[in-house]
Amino acid sequence: MRVFVVNSGSSSIKYQLVDVVSEQVVLSGLLERLGQPGGGADQNSAVDHESGMRLVLDRLGPEAATIAAVGHRVVHGGELFAAPVVIDDEVVAGIRAVSALAPLHNPANLAGIDAARLALPGVPHVAVFDTAFHQSMPAAAATYAIDRAVAAEHGVRRYGFHGTSHQFVASRAAALLGRPLESLKLIVLHLGNGSSATAVDGGRSIDTSMGLTPLAGLVMGTRSGDLDPGALLHLLRTGLSIDELDALLNSRSGLLGLAGSADMRDVMAAADAGDADAALALHVWAHRIRHYVGAYLAQLGGLDAVVFTAGIGENAPVLRARALDGLAHLGLAIDADRNGSPSREARVISPEGAPVAVLVVPTNEELAIAQAAAALVG
């Protein structure tokens, strides 16, 4: 069974044709500069989403006839969507209704959905939400302690993101451990350009570090992560505009703000070369991760495994070790040889017989979306 996976951004369409059984990518591609100057001038761009999707269909050629379903990544499902759904006009209206919560992402996702439904009208389209996995969080974890009426009116609560990745990685971790997911208490650390931590109890998200938006939690490439909300008021009172504050926190903070590069490899190289700012950035990065590991250990009331995934989590042994440094008293330890040996496979990096397993599990959001779509449409 083949699923066509679409990740539609405001100016780009990323796509993959995935064979769900063999888990192989049949083909993949990217169109850029949609709706921007120069869009449509060459083969890797398009004027808009609609013409872009027609171009993609041309590229698929005879493969288009093998598509059993289309899986769409949708960033925000609000409280409306707690699982993937087959898209109809009502679902489109629902995604639009929660767009205020992700004004940059949901309209762009919808543009891709509209264009793909036009281009491929004969197959089911499925929306897979970044937030859905976290809808299982208890109210205690999802609720911010502000005026309840204001929160309700504006949908202000913790939603969490990267849910597709956290869920996929949790289930692969269970397979690697050879135990049912329902029996496991896991902390999943998705450490990429965007980063988040999730406490997974019996296959359900019970807490996660991102919040109303993907700005909360861990130190990221360009995003600040957690910050005293009073700091925002303070900065606004100094005369910063809302757009300037938005750009500061979303685009000029995190590793970039602390160390001058959003790319972890640059920050590591700079720290190795003696750059004090880069060294501090790594300390802050690891400190924040340990903060969440400790918190989620307490919320879970026990722990079977910590799971590293995404660009940094999968590829940076030194940082995996730093993130868990000093946590041996909690049963968390890393075996240096296992941690250091390069591999693309899911693997255990804790010492033999350790009370808590530490795992590296590669994430694959496209495959996860394809699997979710396939499961839904049979």
Active site residues: 130
Query: Is residue 192 close enough to count as binding ligand ADP by CB under 6 A?
Result: yes
Query: Is residue 193 close enough to count as binding ligand ADP by CB under 6 A?
Result: yes
Return the residues of window 258-297 that contact ligand ADP according to CB under 6 A. 263-265
Query: Is residue 316 close enough to count as binding ligand ADP by CB under 6 A?
Result: yes
Residue with smaller CB distance to ligand ADP, 304 or 366: 366
Which segment (10-18, 60-68, 237-245, 310-318) binds ligand ADP by CB under 6 A? 310-318
Q: Is the dihedral of CA 203, 304, 338, 190 positive or negative?
A: positive
Cβ pair 309, 196 in contact under 8 A:
no
Tokens of 166: 């956290």
Q: Which of 3, 60, 87, 312 binds ligand ADP (CB under 6 A)?
A: 312
Q: Dihedrals φ, ψ of 28, to 5°?
A: -150, 160
Residue with smaller CB distance to ligand ADP, 87 or 359: 359
Q: Which of 94, 160, 194, 211 binds ligand ADP (CB under 6 A)?
A: 194
Residue with smaller CB distance to ligand ADP, 191 or 370: 191
DSSP string for residues in 247-294 = HHHHHS-HHHHHHS-S-HHHHHHHHHTT-HHHHHHHHHHHHHHHHHHH
CA–CA distances in Å: residue 218 to residues 2, 35, 228, 254: 35, 33, 14, 9
Query: Is residue 221 close enough to count as binding ligand ADP by CB under 6 A?
Result: yes
Residue with smaller CB distance to ligand ADP, 167 or 315: 315
Query: Is residue 251 close enough to count as binding ligand ADP by CB under 6 A?
Result: no
Secondary structure E strands in the chain:
2-8, 13-19, 24-31, 67-74, 85-86, 125-129, 185-191, 195-201, 204-208, 305-309, 347-348, 357-360
Residue with smaller CB distance to ligand ADP, 131 or 315: 315
Among 31, 12, 109, 22, smallest CA distance to 70 is for 109
Shortest reach from residue 234's CB to ligand ADP, in Å: 29
Which segment (47-55, 152-160, 197-205, 305-313) binds ligand ADP by CB under 6 A? 305-313
Q: How far is CA 145 from the centre of its chain?
A: 25
Tokens of 33: 């500069």
Shortest reach from residue 263's CB to ligand ADP, in Å: 4
Q: Which helix (H) or strand (E) covers residue 300, if one does?
A: helix 276-300
Residues sharing a CB contact under 8 Å with residue 115, sequence separation 6 or more, in sequence order: 8, 48, 49, 50, 52, 53
Shortest reach from residue 191's CB to ligand ADP, in Å: 7
Shortest reach from residue 165's CB to ligand ADP, in Å: 9
State which residue has the least CB distance to ligand ADP: 311
Query: Is residue 169 close enough to count as binding ligand ADP by CB under 6 A?
Result: no
Residue with smaller CB distance to ligand ADP, 279 or 354: 279
Shortest reach from residue 196's CB to ligand ADP, in Å: 10
Cβ pair 278, 267 in contact under 8 A:
yes
Tokens 């910063």 -> residue: 240
Tokens 């083949």 -> residue: 2
Q: Which of 311, 323, 359, 371 binds ligand ADP (CB under 6 A)?
A: 311
Q: Which of 12, 209, 222, 315 binds ligand ADP (CB under 6 A)?
A: 315
Shortest reach from residue 314's CB to ligand ADP, in Å: 8
Q: Is 172 exposed, middle or buried (0-12, 13-18, 19+ CB in 10 A)?
A: buried
Shortest reach from residue 235's CB to ligand ADP, in Å: 26
Residue with smaller CB distance to ligand ADP, 84 or 192: 192
Which amino acid belongs to residue 345? Answer: E
**Interaction site with ligand ADP (CB under 6 A):** 192-194, 221, 263-265, 310-312, 315-316
